[in-house]
Amino acid sequence: MLPVRRTVPPVLLSCLLLAGCSAVPLGTPTSPGARSPVTGASGSAGAGPAIAVGAGPQKHYTVQRQPAAGSCHYRYEHGEPLQDPRCTPGAISPAVTQTDLASTICRKGGYTSGVRPSAYVTGKEKRLNAASYGFTGGMGDAEYDHLISLQLGGDPNDYRNLWVEPADPDHRQGSGVNNRKDPVETKLHTAVCKGQVTLAAAQKAIVADWTTALSTLHLG
């Protein structure tokens, strides 16, 4: 008896095809270092969308292309600025995983200074990204921020992980960079290195909303 051949309805076929595709924001770099999204630095799946993997630390960084001018928009939670997830969804470094924390972000003597791009590169990127977000405030008070910080295994120079973070509403103009996100990053780093939370959990929490990352992970 010949097997029965069944056809897939066009609508279902379209859904199946779309399920295998990932949305890429405008301005996605076409460099060989760009990689497809994965489940996280630790390789373990969890709630929320996957975080992309960047090229990782480089001996020589180059200025990365940024999203089109005016295409990104800030969000605010309790008066605090959040990134546009379409333009800045976050990207992690393949050089930092759950299994090598002791030799990377948790090692004594520091990790971030050895992987941070030069001010020459980030200065140019910051001005371009300010145009992406339509930022018109004082550049000296705004931080060119790694959404997933370097001390949490964020990619050092992937445009998806960097954004011009405005100063807090109560920040005194002209007093330099000083915001409430930095202490959150430090507390998450401490929790990861102490084994209180996984690296992937910390990364996903800060990508979702840095203002609630600590409470989401029950870190107070």
Burial of 205 (0-12, 13-18, 19+ CB in 10 A): buried
Token readout for 55 is 């090229």
Decide if 19 is inside a domain. Answer: no
**C-alpha to C-alpha distances, 140 to 103, 143, 220, nearest whole angstrom:** 34, 8, 31
pLDDT of 172 reads 56
Token readout for 113 is 């200074």
Check residues 212 and 2 and name the one with the higher pLDDT. Answer: 212
Decide if 206 is inside a domain. Answer: yes
Q: How many domains does the chain have?
A: 1
Decide if 60 is inside a domain. Answer: yes
- CA–CA separation, 63 vs 21, rounded Å? 28
- CA–CA separation, 207 vs 149, rounded Å? 10
Write the pLDDT tens digit of every residue in 154-211.
Answer: 999 999 999 999 986 655 555 445 678 999 999 999 999 999 999 999 999 999 999 9
Decide if 17 is inside a domain. Answer: no
Decide if 5 is inside a domain. Answer: no
- Find the range with the poorest average confidence among 30-39, 104-113, 134-143, 153-162: 30-39
Q: Print the domain residue range for 200.
A: 32-216
Token readout for 147 is 């959404």
Decide if 22 is inside a domain. Answer: no
Write the pLDDT tens digit of every residue in 122-160.
Answer: 999 999 999 999 999 889 889 999 999 999 999 999 999
Between the CA atoms of 27, 30, 32 and 34, what dihedral angle is there, to the nearest 10 degrees?
Answer: 30
Instruction: Inform me whether the pLDDT recorded for 16 exceeds 60.
Output: no
Decide if 134 is inside a domain. Answer: yes
Decide if 4 is inside a domain. Answer: no
Q: Are 120 and 51 in contact (CB under 8 A)?
A: no
